[in-house]
Amino acid sequence: MNGEIALMVMSHGLFAKAAMESLELVIGKQNNYDTMAIQLVDNVDALKAELFEKVDKLDRSNGLVVFADIVGGTPMNLAGNLLIGENVILCSGFNLPVLLEFSLNRGRDFSEIRGVIEHAYSNGMSLFTNDKLKEEEEDDLLL
């Protein structure tokens, strides 16, 4: 038992693998995780078996969090099969800020991790426009 919540990241194509590689560039090597790439020609039954095989190799004694790329897609639908287990959270629409926040908090108690993820989702994206830049410049002038 490593004390960390297990992690599975799933996507269409190699997005999940690339996201984890990027994450490791920022915060270092991660343990107790796996990724799964869904390709156009894959067989759904074989994918389900592969998913359960990969998840079975993870230490889930502290729970399991699964990130899938989009709601309604094959990765998310396959991951739904994992919800029969105890202490499983399934999240859709992941990005690097969300993965980072979760990964930096994997040692926390499973009962706290949902709030961490929800907070990360609400703060994980910023939108900047030229108008926003002008507002900030005007605010700087008021100082």
Q: What is the pTM of this model?
A: 0.87
Residue of higher predicted confidence among 98 and 128 = 98
Residues 6+ apart with CB under 8 A from 116: 101, 102, 105, 108
In which band, very low, low, confident or very high, does the pLDDT at 2 lie, cut at 50, 70 and 90? low
Each residue of 57-71: pLDDT tens digit?
Answer: 999 999 999 999 999
Each residue of 82-121: pLDDT tens digit?
Answer: 999 899 999 999 999 999 999 999 999 999 999 999 999 9
In which band, very low, low, confident or very high, does the pLDDT at 1 lie, cut at 50, 70 and 90? very low
Average pLDDT, the chain: 90
**Do residues 55 and 35 make contact, with C-beta atoms less than 8 angstroms apart?**
no
* Residues in a beta bridge with 89: 65
Mean of pLDDT values over 47-62? 96
